[in-house]
Amino acid sequence: MTKLTQNSATQTTYRWPAPAKLNLFLHINRRRDDGYHELQTLFQFIDKCDYLEFKITDSTDIILHSDLNKVVATSDNLILKAAKLLQSETCYQGGAEIWLDKQLPMGGGLGGGSSDAATTLVALNALWKTNLSQNKLAALGLQLGADVPVFIRGFAAFAEGVGEHLQPVELKEKFYLIIVPEVHVSTAEIFNAPNLPRDTKKYSLDNLLQNPWKNDCQNLVINKHPQVAKALDWLIEYAPSRMTGTGACVFAEFENKQQADTVMAALPTDFYGFVAQGLNQSPLSVYLADLN
Ligand SMILES: C[C@@](CO)(OP(=O)(O)O)[C@H](O)COP(=O)(O)OP(=O)(O)OC[C@H]1O[C@@H](n2ccc(N)nc2=O)[C@H](O)[C@@H]1O
Ligand SMILES: Nc1ncnc2c1ncn2[C@@H]1O[C@H](COP(=O)(O)OP(=O)(O)O)[C@@H](O)[C@H]1O
Which residues lie below 8 Å from residue 110, measured CB to CB, with a gap of 6+? 20, 21, 22, 46, 48, 104, 178, 244, 245, 249
Band of pLDDT at residue 163, cut at 50, 70 and 90: confident
Give CA–CA dist 34/31, Å, rounded. Answer: 8
pLDDT at residue number 6: 52
- Asked if residue 67 has pLDDT above 90, the reply is no
**Residues annotated as catalytic (active site), given as ranges:** 21, 147
Domain parsing of the chain, residue ranges? 4-169+282-291, 175-279
Q: Which of the ligands is closest to the CA of residue 144?
A: 1
Q: What percent of the chain has pLDDT over 90?
A: 89
Question: Closest residue (by CA) to atom 3 of ligand 2?
Answer: 113
- Asked if residue 193 has pLDDT above 60, the reply is yes
Average pLDDT over residues 76-82: 96
What separation in Å is there between the alpha carbon of 13 and the centre of ligand 1? 32
Q: Does the C-beta of 247 come closer than 6 Å to ligand 2?
A: no
- Asked if residue 287 has pLDDT above 60, the reply is yes
pLDDT at residue number 58: 95
pLDDT at residue number 13: 62
pLDDT at residue number 169: 98
Number of Cβ atoms within 10 Å of the Cβ of 65: 14
Rg (CA), the chain: 19
pLDDT at residue number 69: 78
Which residues lie below 8 Å from residue 282, measured CB to CB, with a gap of 6+? 19, 45, 151, 154, 155
Which residue pairs, CB below 8 angstroms and at least 24 apart, start in 34-37?
A: 35/191, 36/146, 36/162, 36/191, 37/162, 37/191, 37/198
CATH 3.30.230.10 fits 4-169+282-291, yes or no: yes
Q: Lowest-pLDDT range, 8-17, 135-144, 165-174?
A: 8-17
Does the annotation list 264 as a binding residue? no
CATH topology of domain 175-279: Alpha-Beta Plaits (3.30.70)
Band of pLDDT at residue 252, cut at 50, 70 and 90: very high
- Asked if residue 1 has pLDDT above 50, the reply is no
Pairing, β 157-160 against β 273-279: unpaired
pLDDT at residue number 30: 96
Of the ranges 8-12, 39-43, 159-163, the best mean pLDDT one = 39-43
- Asked if residue 251 has pLDDT above 70, the reply is yes
Give CA–CA dist 168/159, Å, rounded. Answer: 9
What separation in Å is there between the alpha carbon of 114 and the centre of ligand 2? 7
Strand locations in 32-73, DSSP E? 37-57, 62-65
The complex's ipTM works out to 0.95
